[in-house]
Chain A
Amino acid sequence: MSYKMHVLVCGGTGCRASASQQIITRLEESLREKNLEDEVQVIATGCFGFCEKGPIVKIMPDNTFYVQVKPEDAEEIVNEHVIKGRKVERLLYKDPEKKEAVSDSKHMGFYKKQLRIALRNCGFINPENIEEYIARDGYSALAKCITELKPEEVIQEIKLSGLRGRGGGGFPTGLKWEFASKYQADQKYVVCNADEGDPGAFMDRSIMEGDPHSVIEAMAICGYSIGATKGLVYIRAEYPLAIQRLKIAIQQAKEYGLLGQNIFGTDFTFDIELRYGAGAFVCGEETALIHSMEGHRGEPTMKPPFPAESGYLNRPTNVNNVETLANIPAIIMKGANWFNKIGTERSKGTKVFALAGKINNVGLIEVPMGTTLREVIYEIGGGIKNDKKFKAVQTGGPSGGCLTEKHLDVPIDFDNLLASGSMMGSGGMIVMDEDDCMVSVAKFYLEFTVEESCGKCTPCRVGNKRLHEILDKITQGKGTMEDLDTLRNLSRVIKDTALCGLGQTSPNPVLSTIDNFYDEYLAHIKDKKCPAGKCKALLMYHIDPELCIGCGLCARNCPVDAIVGERKEPHFINTAKCIKCGACMEKCKFKAVSTR
């Protein structure tokens, strides 16, 4: 059956949380009523990336991009756009600067600078239908590899492409495959690391939800190259939708003979199974991940031996991250020389970032390596929310650091981020404004590390705990100058002596905030003040009697009845009762509530 028109509705986790499933139902109902169900097809796709404006509905072939659609808009879309061919103006994206509606996503600031390789199919295809993937050249890379290329030629191609691991380490993927291919064993394993634990990064989940077959195809290609017949996806149990879509995709690939015995009529055999994680950040480290798959506590072990020699069940194992794998089919089809022309000298291709925090366009973006932070934050991200002042951007999650205004023009790649005191990590990018306290941010990350440290090595288990205690002391206004030295020294010791990547990088948020925001630490320690007004122990809420008109909105919203005052008279805060929740400040329309 061929359809005249397709209505694509985002079915990613974010948009589903804003009722995209109901939108689909309402669209289908409306189309049925008008007897159009054979002409127009509604498809639930993966993530479009523009989460800020979700739920997204896109109409093909005319490429109309509707934002923030509600289930009750479905009928109007069908009546106006589908039947009468008129765009529903009020649902189009408005360019914040030019104040005019933009209907084609190609012309939107958010998409203009993006180059989508790993996300090439997300938002275009129905992830639960293998034929749509095949229609976009899916599985032709696998066919090319096993029917035309020798395993070593595939590895050579990946090496030549310059692809580096997207999970955080940045290790050359081709080299990793070559190591695993050299060890002989009765069984080898290909493992896909889908244990995305970095808070604020969700690219791997979006790829698995939006384009699961690209991961499956890449794992099979890897299996062929290194001589493995078994693939395992280690996925977080917290990602139910991604698990469901992967299961469907694996089943369909088996039915189509793209997994299993004698793939494409050759003697190549490959199968994939799922293994579930249970919430442990350290399991992103490959040796810890392997222990977890074997049913143990996910504690890392010393390398060597590397997994390439002795991994899962002591067999040679190759572990790659989801985003890394999603690049593989594209590299095989378009060639290493296409891929290695994108990006910078030592970081090839693109990188997906999860852009979040105090930014106008929260979402998932993919840009060529070498794009600057300024382009990402101001052009794609649309600048800082509520016209506040940019303060810092945190990259690399709990292992990374905070970059400031002076880093805005640094081209983003693995090496430049490291040199700036942060790291690429898995691609979380959290933007912070003038209201964020950098000492609290460092404390927030340390809290995470302390919770997630597996406890095996002392520097990480005890050292990070001490770092957290000192930071807490500073945010309470009880810090001393000596504490700053201790923070620095202890951080260096942990970095030098911890067993695995988690501990070796965990002091980065502390060191980078001390380096870049030294004055803010001083303000907490010497003046007992939090310039951003975040540290509760250091601030007092106060109502300016000049500005207060006595509307009583603050008093009604105060959860503890700490605000008193007569109507139309200035109100007061009873500081003994105040729990410093900030509800009054948020609600006041006259900016009369402030902190000091």
Chain B
Amino acid sequence: MTQISLAKCKVDQLVKLCEEFGNQEGELINVLHKAQELVGYLPREVQEVIARQLNIPVSKVYGVVTFYSFFTMTPKGEHPISVCMGTACYVRGAEKVLDEFKRVLKINVGETTPDGKFSLTSLRCVGACGLAPVVLIGEKVYGRVTPGEVEKILKEFN
């Protein structure tokens, strides 16, 4: 893993964040939620700061971060793309839509384009099953997406 160094101000903010939760071990998940909001993702250094503050091993923090799909150790793109792969979207062709995003962006699920513009993930059900298959880009929801529309959608962000 590449070594990144975290800005001092971010470290201070993380320390403060942990203090707000009383540096309690039991608040680890809440701390991680806030930390991801703050930094955008949870790289090793962030985990180390949190571990030190809550007085727990880094391995424990790492164990929790990697257990839950909501937490990520890679930075998201400027426009994070999530293709819903819930069952309703799956039977209405979400897999083909996902394949098309992979093909056009030349990245796999969980990766970010080299220019940092787009990242691609699949998620399980946003609950808009009436609009299946559904794609989320940032906050924007695209419904009834077909593989043919993928390039057109991506052009909106150029």
Residues of A within 8 A of B (CB): 13-14, 17-18, 51-54, 197-202, 205-206, 237-238, 275-281, 292, 294-298, 313, 354, 356-358, 362-363, 394, 397, 428, 430, 432, 436, 441, 444, 448, 451, 454, 557, 559, 579, 581-583, 586-587
In the bound assembly, the distance between CA atoms of A295 and B50 in angstroms comes to 13
Show 20 residue pairs from A and B whose CB-CB distance is below 8 angstroms, ordered by the A residue.
A13-B126, A14-B128, A199-B87, A199-B90, A200-B86, A200-B88, A238-B70, A278-B68, A280-B68, A295-B27, A298-B67, A356-B130, A356-B132, A357-B92, A362-B129, A394-B87, A432-B91, A444-B87, A583-B146, A586-B147
Contact in complex: A278, B85 (CB < 8 Å): no
Closest 5 CB pairs of A and B: A51-B130, A202-B127, A278-B68, A356-B88, A199-B86
Determine whether the beta carbon of B67 is less than 8 Å from that of A297.
yes
B residues less than 8 Å from A201 (CB atoms): 125
B128 partner residues in chain A, CB cutoff 8 A: 13-14, 17, 51
B70 and A237 within 8 A (CB): yes
Given contacts A17-B126, A51-B129, A198-B125, list 19 more A-B pairs with CB under 8 A: A13-B128, A17-B141, A199-B86, A199-B124, A200-B86, A200-B87, A201-B125, A202-B125, A238-B126, A275-B29, A295-B27, A295-B28, A296-B28, A297-B63, A356-B88, A436-B91, A581-B147, A586-B147, A587-B148
Complex CA gap A278/B30 in Å reads 9
Does B151 interact with chain A (Cβ within 8 Å)? yes
Interface size of B by CB at 8 A reads: 46
Q: Does B44 contact A (CB under 8 A)?
A: no
| Chain B residue at minimal CB-CB distance from A430 | B87
Q: Which label, helix, strand, loop or mixed, suits the secondary structure of the B interface?
A: helix
A278 touches B33 (CB 8 A): yes
Instruction: Out of B25, B71, B93, B126, name the residue touching A295 (CB < 8 Å).
Output: B25
A435 to nearest B CB, angstroms? 9
Is residue B100 within 8 Å, beta carbon to beta carbon, of the partner chain? yes
Q: Which of B25, B125, B148 contacts A199 (CB 8 A)?
A: B125
Contact call B148/A454, Cβ cutoff below 8 A = no
Q: Does B131 contact A (CB under 8 A)?
A: yes
Min CB distance B120 to A, Å, is: 16
Q: Which of B71, B92, B129 contacts A278 (CB 8 A)?
A: B71
Name the contact of B127 in the complex, choosing from A14, A397, A581 (C-beta under 8 A): A14
A363→B130 contact, CB < 8 A:
yes
Q: Give A501 to B63 CA distance when docked, in angstroms.
A: 22
Find the residue from B63, B67, B70, B129 having the highest chain A CB count within 10 A: B129
Q: Which residues of A contact B91 (CB under 8 A)?
A: 357-358, 430, 432, 436, 441
For residue B142, which residue of chain A has the nearest CB? A17
The answer to whether A586 and B146 have CB atoms under 8 Å apart is yes
| Chain A residues within 8 Å of B45, by CB | none
With a CB–CB cut-off of 8 A, which chain A residues contact B8? none
Contacts of A587 in B (CB 8 A): 148
In whole angstroms, how far apart are the Cα atoms of A432 and B32 in the complex?
A: 39
When distances are taken between beta carbons in the complex, the residues of chain A under 8 Å from B134 are: 17
Residues of the A chain whose Cβ atoms lie less than 8 Å from the Cβ of B24: 295
Which residue on chain B has the smallest CB distance to residue A441?
A: B91
Interface residues of B in 125-156 (CB under 8 A from A): 125-132, 134, 141, 143, 146-148, 151
Asked whether, in the complex, the Cβ of A54 is within 8 Å of the Cβ of B29, the reply is no
Distance of A475 Cα from B69 Cα, bound (Å): 27
A294 with B130: CB separation less than 8 A: no
> B88 contacts which chain A residues (CB < 8 A)?
199-200, 354, 356-357, 362, 430
B123: CB under 8 A from chain A?
A: yes
Residues of A near B125 (CB, < 8 A) are: 198-202
Residues of A close to B32: CB separation below 8 A: 278
| In the complex with contacts A14-B130, A18-B131, A237-B70, A197-B124 CB distance below 8 A | yes
Q: Which residues of A contact B19 (CB under 8 A)?
A: none
Q: How far is the CB of B49 from chain A (nearest CB, A)?
A: 17
Do the beta carbons of A454 and B92 come within 8 Å of each other? no
Contact across chains for B131 and A279 when beta carbons are under 8 A apart: no
Mask of B6-35 contacts with A, CB within 8 angstroms, 1/0:
000000000000000000111111101100
User: In the complex, A54 Cα to B143 Cα: how many Å?
Assistant: 12
Shortest distance from the beta carbon of B59 to any chain A beta carbon, whole Å: 11
Chain B min CB distance to A506 (Å): 15
Instruction: A361 to B25: give the CA distance in the assembly, Å.
Output: 47
Contacts of A444 in B (CB 8 A): 87, 90
